[in-house]
Amino acid sequence: MKKKFMILLAIVLLVLTACGKDQAQEAITLKDQTSNEVTFPQDKPSVFFFITTYT
């Protein structure tokens, strides 16, 4: 049963990744903690992290 589930999950992930876009059409703009807009470039790969706190 576990083997069948893993195979089905792998097939679903493969189909979902094949349907995705290669690159975003527009620039990604987010707001930081001081409400400044930050734009991420699309011409080269970039990594960004989200840190959230619940108070």
In a domain, 14, yes or no: no
| 4-37 residues labelled b (16+ CB within 10 A) or e (exposed) | eeeeeeeeeeeeeeeeeeeeeeeeeeeeeeeeee
In a domain, 16, yes or no: no
Number of domains in the chain: 1
Given a contact cutoff of 8 angstroms between Cβ atoms, the answer to whether 42 and 27 are in contact is: yes
Give the pTM: 0.39
In a domain, 28, yes or no: yes
In a domain, 30, yes or no: yes
**Rounded to an integer, what distance in angstroms lies between the CA atom of residue 53 and that of residue 33?**
11
List, for residues 27-52, the tens digit of each pLDDT value: 778 888 788 888 877 777 777 777 77
Nearest to 27 by CA among 49, 48, 43, 11: 43
Domain interval for residue 41:
23-55
In a domain, 11, yes or no: no
pLDDT at 49: 74
